[in-house]
Amino acid sequence: MNRRVILLLAFVIAVTGALLGLKGLAGHQVRQAVPVSSPVSPNDSPSASAPVSQPIFAPDFSLKSLSDGRQVQLSALRGKAVLINFWATYCGPCKEEMPFLVDLQKRYGPEGLQILGVTMDDGDEKAIIEFTRKMGVNYPILQGTEKMADSYGGINGLPTTFFVGRSGKVVKELLGSAEKPVFEDLVKQALQQSAGGAEHSREKQNP
Amino acid sequence: MKLLYSLVLLTAVMTGVFAAGQESPARQGRTFVTALPVNPVAVSPGRRTPVDFTFRVESGYHINSSQPLGEELIPTQLHFSLPGEMAVGKIQYPAGELMDFPFDPKTKLSVYSGDFVVHGLIVAPTAAALGTYTVHGELRYQACDNNACYPPKKLPFTFDVKISPAVKRIPKARPNAASPHIHN
């Protein structure tokens, strides 16, 4: 009987250890975004975006581009500033900011900006492609997955945008729509982050 | 033996806690709409009985109406799973309120906010077995606020339908009909 109890106790300890270990691994996510109640404007307080005390590397992913069927891997873009925009066709605020993104890609692409649109639509690919064609989108549209969204803290609302610096660290995340100058300012900050480090960590962007 | 049970219980609890901790925020059942309770509906075989479903959209949010003004927008829809050959027919959604929002002030959207009521008719077949049945309904919707949108949601709800024998209706007296017993 005693031996049985000891064995069971060992089993419970082993299960606990395994669960805690798994949880620790799963903890490597971008923290959950803070929802904002109104559109972010340049004059708004920075509480509208999510400050993070420690710069975090944007979790790597490989997603299929709906534009050409190729896989796009985030880590292959190291050295560029990357704007990851989670969106969906049913999302009005997402649609409204698309022209900003198109313009930013056009103007800052030559300086090293790469915008990635990650669609969270469940709908058919053709409809998504047609939608982005109508919107004149000039950056890759990737089919998002739940796993990938989870790695970014779980995408609770759309749009959600992550600004990733050249070093691969997240400069800022925005939940909800924002005005164009806010995007532009954050794109500039992401471009200024050197490939080797994070001179412009999120603390510096939040006075 | 008690210790054995305790250990097994502890393992189960730990696994549950772990599973809850693993659930992503996107899946954590954030609701924007609640279904108000539906009173039990009394139905007679072969008859149609009206029923109202009232839903409450959380303050600060809106959902698309059943006929949104845009092909990419997700309409609000009610679905039912009914026992036997019962059916919910003639579902009538309210007209959406035409509103514009800060993210696109130039465009009107057809939405529901606050409380809205969907009408339906419960139909029980003539040969329906008498008794009380639980009907499972599901409201499918997609919510937004002034600044962001949220993934499509399904709101399950239930209500009871009691099938009782038909009661013979006594014709109401017509007030304007001339009574043979009244003479002016």
Please write the tens of the pLDDT for every residue from A73-89.
999 999 999 999 999 99
| Predicted confidence (pLDDT) at residue A194 exceeds the cutoff of 60 | yes
Taking an 8 Å cut-off on Cβ atoms, the answer to whether B3 and A5 are in contact is yes
Average pLDDT, chain B: 82
In the predicted model, what is the mean pLDDT of residues B73-81?
95
Question: Minimal CA–CA distance to B120: which of B65, B66, B67, B49?
Answer: B49
Given this model, what pLDDT does residue A122 score?
87
| Predicted confidence (pLDDT) at residue B179 exceeds the cutoff of 50 | no
In the predicted model, what is the mean pLDDT of residues A132-154?
95
pLDDT band at B86 (very low <50, low <70, confident <90, very high): confident
Given this model, what pLDDT does residue A4 score?
64
* Domain membership flag for residue B73: yes
Average pLDDT, chain A: 78
Q: Of the ranges A46-50, B150-154, B178-182, which is most confident?
A: B150-154
* Domain membership flag for residue B19: no
| Predicted confidence (pLDDT) at residue B107 exceeds the cutoff of 60 | yes
Residue A51 main-chain phi, psi, to 5 deg: -80, 145
Per residue in A93-116, pLDDT (tens digit) is: 999 999 999 999 999 999 999 999
Greater model confidence, A14 or B165: B165
Residue B129 maps to which CATH number? Answer: 2.60.40.1250
As a whole number of angstroms, the distance between CA A169 and CA B150 comes to 26
Count of domains forming chain B: 1
Share of chain B above pLDDT 70, in %: 74
* Domain membership flag for residue B60: yes
Per residue in B6-65, pLDDT (tens digit) is: 544 444 444 443 433 333 334 445 789 999 999 999 999 988 999 999 999 999 999 999
* Domain membership flag for residue B156: yes
Q: Is the dihedral of CA A105, A108, A111, A117 positive or negative?
A: negative
As a whole number of angstroms, the distance between CA A118 and CA A159 comes to 10
Contact A118, A148 (CB under 8 A): yes
In the predicted model, what is the mean pLDDT of residues B81-108?
90
pLDDT band at B82 (very low <50, low <70, confident <90, very high): confident
In the predicted model, what is the mean pLDDT of residues B63-90?
92
| ipTM surpassing 0.85 | no
In the predicted model, what is the mean pLDDT of residues A1-28?
48
Per residue in A21-48, pLDDT (tens digit) is: 433 333 334 543 333 333 444 443 333 4
Mutate to test the interface with A, among B6, B7, B24 (most CBs of A within 10 A): B24
| Predicted confidence (pLDDT) at residue A198 exceeds the cutoff of 50 | no
Number of H helices, E strands in chain A: 6, 8
* Chain B hits for A130, Cβ within 8 Å: none
In the predicted model, what is the mean pLDDT of residues B111-128?
94
- For B108, the closest chain A residue by CA position comes to A92
For tokens 């996107």, the residue is B26
Question: Minimal CA–CA distance to B55: which of B162, B152, B138, B135?
Answer: B138
| Predicted confidence (pLDDT) at residue B141 exceeds the cutoff of 90 | yes
Given this model, what pLDDT does residue B26 score?
40
As a whole number of angstroms, the distance between CA A43 and CA B55 comes to 37
Q: Is the dihedral of CA A152, A148, B16, B18 positive or negative?
A: negative
Share of chain A above pLDDT 70, in %: 67
Residues of A with a Cβ under 8 Å from any B Cβ are 4-5, 8-9, 11-12, 15-16, 19, 22-23, 26, 32, 35-39, 88-96, 120, 122, 127, 131, 146, 149-150, 153-159, 175-177
H/E element, B159: strand B153-163
As a whole number of angstroms, the distance between CA A121 and CA B151 comes to 9
Range of the domain at B120: 29-163
Given this model, what pLDDT does residue B118 score?
98
Mutate to test the interface with A, among B103, B109, B110, B146 (most CBs of A within 10 A): B103
pLDDT band at A54 (very low <50, low <70, confident <90, very high): low
Q: If phi over 0 gives left and psi between -120 and 50 gives alpha, with beta otherwise, what is residue B70?
A: left
pLDDT band at B3 (very low <50, low <70, confident <90, very high): low
* Domain membership flag for residue B10: no
Out of B21, B25, B147, the one facing A23 most closely (by C-beta) is B21
Q: Is the dihedral of CA A149, A49, B154, A129 positive or negative?
A: negative
Given this model, what pLDDT does residue B29 score?
58
Going by C-beta distance under 8 Å and a sequence separation of 6 or more, which residues neighbour residue B159?
Answer: B37, B38, B39, B40, B41, B51, B134, B135, B137
Contact B84, B129 (CB under 8 A): yes
B22-81 residues touching A, CB cutoff 8 A: 22, 24-28, 30, 60, 72-74
As a whole number of angstroms, the distance between CA B67 and CA B106 comes to 19
* Domain membership flag for residue B18: no
